[in-house]
Amino acid sequence: IKCDWFHTSLCCTHNTRWNFLCLWVLFFVFFFFIVVLILFPLTSIPDCLGNHFSVLKLNLYISDIEISRAQIPKPVNQLAEEVGLLPEELEAYGRSKAKVCLSLLDRLHTQPDGKYVLVAGITPTPLGEGKSTVTIGLVQALSAHLSLNSFACLRQPSQGPTFGVKGGAAGGGYAQVIPMEEFNLHLTGDIHAITAANNLVAAAIDARMLHEATQSDKALFNRLVPSVNGVRKFSPIQFSRLQRLGIDKTNPASLTPEEVTSFVRLDLDPSKITWQRVVDTNDRFLRKITVGQANTEKGQIRETGFDIAVASEIMAILALADSLEDMKNRLARMVVGTSRSGQPVTTEDLGVSGALTVLMKDAIKPTLMQTLEGTPVFVHAGPFANIAHGNSSVLADKLALKLVGRDGFVVTEAGFGADIGMEKFFNIKCRASGLRPNVVVLVATIRALKMHGGGPNVSAGAPLPKEYIDENLSLVAAGCHSNLKKQIQIAHLFGIPVVVALNVFKTDTQAEIDLVCEIAKGCGASDAVPCNHWAQGGRGSIKLAQAVNEAASRPSNFQFLYNIEMPIADKIRTIAQKVYGADDIELSPAAKDKIDYYNQQGYGLLPICMAKTHLSLSHMPDKKGAPTGFVLPIRDVRASIGAGFIYPLVGTMSTMPGLPTRPCFYDIDLDPVTGEITGLF
């Protein structure tokens, strides 16, 4: 028998026929494994709890939506098992997403936390610079390519920007959360729960004012503490009201007439009600409205307004609570207005805080999803960074840190630039959680750097000017030495090492990329690396993952920007001067009065949550780079007592966005035959 191309010395022996058969068997076994390696979509890496984590292979398509639809997500129960969740800790919402029970924290309380990474950014263009995409690409690189356990923790998108100017927020290219449609739309209903809870408070306020205005003390008392089967008793939430009033009685019949009056009359001042209704739509015409005009409301007409749902204090509470009990207590502390005698009135005084907790009992559980490469993601809460504190939930981060283990990574994202989302992450979220980050990833794009270097304005929907398409090293350098340098310095104020992630676009030249990385390192970044996750998935962010791994292993010296015991005005001034670069602040008379009132009520020890434009380090959206020599105007100061922060309104900042001339909803549609959604990207 003649030996052919797979011939070895074995087939040229006296037992030629047997050896020939063995070699063919070996050949087919070898061929089988090659086919499996090429075609089978899963490979395995161990996770921290001893399971095997499966990685989804990427399919090469063109558009974001095609990429998303080409990938079939792992069943969520498989994903949950891979990351170490028990079946009883999972509440599935369909095939590809699930709520995770908070009992996991008790089970894993002895498990060491992983490393904590914050993704922030430079001041963005109106188009956004891809922080979510970088976050997803980074965790794909860590888990799917470097075999390091990692979790992404992202905010839930609001319907406002999804149908307004921004569109979908699931990442992009080969760094997405899937299924993209479910991520961007209703998800598991958390924002709907917040809307319902917020508007229940609003309804309770107006109803209580109506009844107090039209009934005697005795009639109010008989209705608020009704006699049931001849027995009159206080409900548990009414005991809290009595305690706040200093009434130490349990028998309704024992109250004096004066005590009855103080118990039944909240006596809200209509001009000092701070609570507004919410809707998760950019509806500018609801910014100021009049309610109570029907004849049935008996003349109880007043001005009020709507905020966008994600600006609700209940959203902030969801993001900052660390347990169901903590959320319940925070909901009870929310102040809705002031009485005519100058006392704060809470949701507990209204008797509604228990009902709010019931509406929010499922929303407090983070939602488990996955990236295109099958790595795990927690999606939870969605406060805006220019209005609220701009971070996903404390609970999602805490759960993820336990699941990844000591050597794993949790990558969480802060909204907009480092001057907004990152500053609030450190001063508000880290105070609430007790967690301390290991490294900051600062996202930059050459497009944004050129804008800060003096390039023309960038508008959503309009073609990019040629300065952003053609190579222009002078604009890049100017942007690096202004905005990028300032944002690195802001991170260093908190003692955290910085890795700059340059989100690469196809119009970027190698000379521009090299220049950014060189200047970033010269400005104090631990490292600066170009990232190609949009085009290549996790493989395009391997260098970033390696840089983050190295930076996270170095010691950090985390510190807060200000002492919480500083006066409110001084805390605002510290942020304005050290973070924004302002010379000073200017408090309006209304802002001064509010600060005095909050100090009188004992709220002066709360951190600050600035409501400021995200388009500039200053309060002026058109001032790019790193403006100096300005005074920051504080138009008003409000308090979210349940959430636990004071929020000043800077300039003309609005808590209800508006729709542009051509909103994104023009392109969003449903194919009635296939059921596929178009236009979200």
Q: Is the dihedral of CA 92, 93, 94, 100 positive or negative?
A: negative
Query: Count of domains in the chain?
Result: 4
**SS3 of 82, please?**
helix
In a domain, 438, yes or no: yes
- pLDDT in the model for residue 12: 39
**SS3 of 285, please?**
helix
In a domain, 676, yes or no: no
CA distance 470 to 478: 16
**SS3 of 298, please?**
coil
- pLDDT in the model for residue 57: 76
CATH number at residue 641: 3.10.410.10
pTM of this structure: 0.88
Q: Which residue has the higher pLDDT, 672 or 666?
A: 672
Indicate if 419 and 308 belong to the same structural domain. Answer: no
* Residues carrying an active site annotation: 131, 133, 155, 166, 385, 416, 505, 534
| Segment 256-263 long-range contacts (CB within 8 Å, at least 24 positions apart) | 257/217, 260/217, 260/218, 260/221, 261/217, 263/221, 263/224, 263/238
In a domain, 34, yes or no: yes
Indicate if 175 and 272 belong to the same structural domain. Answer: no
CA distance 548 to 496: 12
- pLDDT in the model for residue 14: 45
Mean pLDDT confidence for 533-560: 95
Asked if pLDDT for residue 1 goes beyond 70, the answer is no
- pLDDT in the model for residue 152: 97
Task: Give per-residue pLDDT as tens, 250-271.
Answer: 999 999 999 999 999 999 999 9
Contacts of 614 (CB under 8 A, 6+ apart): 123, 124, 385, 386, 415, 416, 417, 420
CATH number at residue 503: 3.40.50.300
CA distance 111 to 17: 59
In a domain, 286, yes or no: yes
Indicate if 472 and 523 belong to the same structural domain. Answer: yes
Max mean pLDDT among 2-6, 169-173, 213-217 falls in 213-217
Task: Give per-residue pLDDT as tens, 477-496.
Answer: 999 999 999 999 999 999 99
Q: Where are the alpha helices (DSSP H) in 428-480?
A: 430-433, 446-452, 473-479
Indicate if 235 and 347 belong to the same structural domain. Answer: yes
Indicate if 344 and 402 belong to the same structural domain. Answer: no
**Which tokens hold the place of 69?**
């639809």
Indicate if 481 and 409 belong to the same structural domain. Answer: yes
Closest CA to 627 of 579, 575, 572, 586: 579
In a domain, 659, yes or no: no
**Which tokens hold the place of 298?**
């008996």
Indicate if 327 and 202 belong to the same structural domain. Answer: yes
CATH number at residue 303: 3.30.1510.10
Indicate if 317 and 205 belong to the same structural domain. Answer: yes
**Which tokens hold the place of 293?**
């005009």
Q: Are 411 and 139 in contact (CB under 8 A)?
A: yes
Mean pLDDT of the chain: 89
Indicate if 315 and 196 belong to the same structural domain. Answer: yes
Indicate if 109 and 131 belong to the same structural domain. Answer: yes
Indicate if 491 and 580 belong to the same structural domain. Answer: no
**Which tokens hold the place of 250?**
């349990």
DSSP H or E run through 514? helix 510-522
- The conformational region for residue 246 under phi > 0 = left, psi -120 to 50 = alpha, else beta, is left
Specify the amino acid at residue 137.
G
- pLDDT in the model for residue 667: 73
CA distance 409 to 52: 17
Please give the residue range of the domain that contains residue 601: 568-649
In a domain, 406, yes or no: yes
Place of tokens 């979220």: 429
| Domain's final residue, options 359, 383, 412 | 359
Task: Give per-residue pLDDT as tens, 56-107.
Answer: 877 665 667 678 778 889 999 999 999 999 999 999 999 999 999 999 999 9
In a domain, 673, yes or no: no
Indicate if 19 and 166 belong to the same structural domain. Answer: no
CA distance 259 to 252: 10
Max mean pLDDT among 45-54, 377-386, 565-574, 653-662 falls in 565-574
CA distance 568 to 588: 14
In a domain, 622, yes or no: yes
